[in-house]
A and B are shown apart, each in its own frame.
Chain A
Amino acid sequence: MSVIHVESLRKAFGEVVAVDDLTFDVAAGEIFGVLGPNGAGKTTTVECIAGTIAPDRGRVTVLGADPARQRGFVRERVGYQLQSTALPPALRVGEAIELFAAFYESPADAGALLDLVGMGGERRRPFGKLSGGQKQRLSIALALVGQPKIAVFDELTTGLDPQGRRDAWRLIEQIRDRGITVVLVTHFLEEAERLCDRIVVIDKGRSRFIGSPGELTESIEPGSSSRHRLEDAYLRLVDQDTADAGQV
């Protein structure tokens, strides 16, 4: 059963076409990866799913509703972690989670949620004093506080150290185990390979591949013995000149 349906999506900002003829489905209970080089249209796709921007053409359905029209319905049921959002530095962890809990009809227990993300002992710590990993774990908790059916994470692990990244991965798996569908926008192939059931690779606004990470490896590099087969396959898929070598 699909919980997110994107069909022939197109969105342009002035002359720049961010997303063009994009089609994919996200099934209930899966971890779905959205991959692509910088500027490929990943965030625009997520914003169309969030209903913060309306598509020029095509259709986006989230849990059967149009996110641009039935905003209340969709926002009550979808939790978002947006790329690089900062809270006021003086706001404490406990205050932040309770504030966001007040926005939803049936919020999760704030204390239990902070324990889940490993922040139970940091309730009184101001946001400005948190480490990068702690900030991201708090943003995960904020995305989950409304007890969503779907959680969308936009570049959750960018800028985290290896330990922070591992912690975030474990957390995402726990979230999926609770029956929440996860949409994961990422630059990291290792992350996609480890977590995602299926991925879509977007380049220059168009979809280049939809399937499991294993299928991507097999479809393009049959029999290769390289240690980085998925990366090789991915780089062959997206234009070399647009892919930032350090951040694939």
Chain B
Amino acid sequence: MRGRCEMRATVALTRVETLLFLRNPTSIFMAVLPALLLLLQAYVIQGTMNPIGGPDPNAAALRPIDFFVPVAVTVAIASVAITNYPSSVGSYRETGILRRLGVTPVGAHRVLLAQWVVSGMSLAAAFLLTMTIAWLAIGASAPRNAIIAAATVIFGTIAMMSLGSVLAAIAPNAQAAYGLGLIVFMATMFTAGMWTPGPLMPETIRIISGFTPMGAMTQALTDAWYAGTVSLVPFIVT
């Protein structure tokens, strides 16, 4: 009896969380933003669609925009995990919803579970949108090693959600969570290579970036995408 009731409660919470997500323009914007940035870089910034050239035949065929595809995937995941998710939890704490749910038979922890499910779904949607744009508008190639790419996305997602959970845990309200989230997000965007893709970064910064979750994730994804091999270091970091 209790088990069935808990299942029903989880389903109901997830349904409500989904509805609330769809009614929040900011969340949706943050989820589709990376895909839009990818388009912007491809079509507004000059020269990103032309091959790099150079002596290395493997790299010569690649265009700068190709390096941005793994970055965009990483950023899509980070923007949901580091901004949307902590600010939702922060607003729940602020308004006393967690306390109110705490005095129902199901308890407050279940709403976090529902948050994870909804974040997972919006992550997947953001990921698919980014991939679709990369494929249709930019003509990006598929990852050379799809399994490693998929594993990287999964590990990366868990790392980002953990980072988001830390933010959610320390932020007293929605505003603080969103602000903290954006700061961390900007920092991670840099290490992920949003401004300068990893391979084009100065060596020192690139090494430091490799030890941050987003930088590690992008490097692993870039390797999986274009080299088909990947080192273990990024996984240890994430």
Contacts and interface: CB of A to CB of B under 8 A. Distances in A.
Are A and B co-members of a single complex? yes
B36 interface: no
Contacts of A185: none
10 contacts: A75-B105, A80-B103, A86-B95, A86-B96, A87-B95, A90-B20, A102-B8, A102-B11, A102-B13, A104-B105
Contacts of B103: 50-52, 75, 78, 80, 82
Contacts of A78: 103
Interface stretch (A1-9, A29-37, A92-100, A207-215): A92-100
Contacts of B20: 88, 90-91
Nearest to A72: B105
Contact of B105 (A50, A85, A87, A146): A146
A82 B99 contact: yes
Contact residue range for chain A? Answer: 20 to 34
Nearest to B88: A88
B97 interface: yes
B101 to A, nearest CB: 8
A97 B104 CA distance: 13
Q: Is the interface of A mostly helix, strand, loop or mixed?
A: loop
Interface in A63-122: 71-72, 75-76, 78, 80, 82, 84-88, 90-91, 95, 98-100, 102-105
Contacts of A71: 107
A75 B104 contact: yes
Contacts of B13: 99, 102
Interface of A: 50-52, 71-72, 75-76, 78, 80, 82, 84-88, 90-91, 95, 98-100, 102-105, 142, 146
Contacts of B104: 75, 100, 103-104, 146
A86 B5 contact: no
B18 to A, nearest CB: 11
B108 to A, nearest CB: 10
Closest 7 CB pairs of A and B: A102-B12, A86-B95, A85-B96, A90-B23, A103-B104, A85-B100, A80-B103
B204 to A, nearest CB: 45
B225 to A, nearest CB: 38
Contact of A52 (B9, B97, B102): B102
Q: Is the interface of B mostly helix, strand, loop or mixed?
A: helix
Nearest to A145: B104
A158 to B, nearest CB: 14
Interface in B138-194: none
A95 B105 contact: no
A91 B13 CA distance: 12
B9 A103 contact: yes
B113 interface: no
Contacts of B1: 105
A50 B2 CA distance: 20
Interface string B77-108: 00000000000000110011101101111110
Contact of A72 (B2, B9, B24): B2
B19 interface: yes
A78 B102 CA distance: 13
Contacts of A50: 103
Given A78-B103, A100-B104, 6 more contacts: A82-B96, A87-B97, A88-B97, A90-B23, A95-B19, A103-B104
Interface string B1-37: 1100100110111001001100110000000000000
A99 B12 contact: yes
B167 to A, nearest CB: 19
Nearest to A67: B103
Contact of B5 (A84, A88, A104): A104
Contacts of A76: 105
Nearest to A100: B104
A148 B91 CA distance: 28
Interface string B112-136: 0000000000000000000000000
Contacts of B97: 85-88
A72 B12 CA distance: 19
Contact of A98 (B12, B91, B92, B95): B12
Nearest to B110: A103
A90 B24 contact: yes
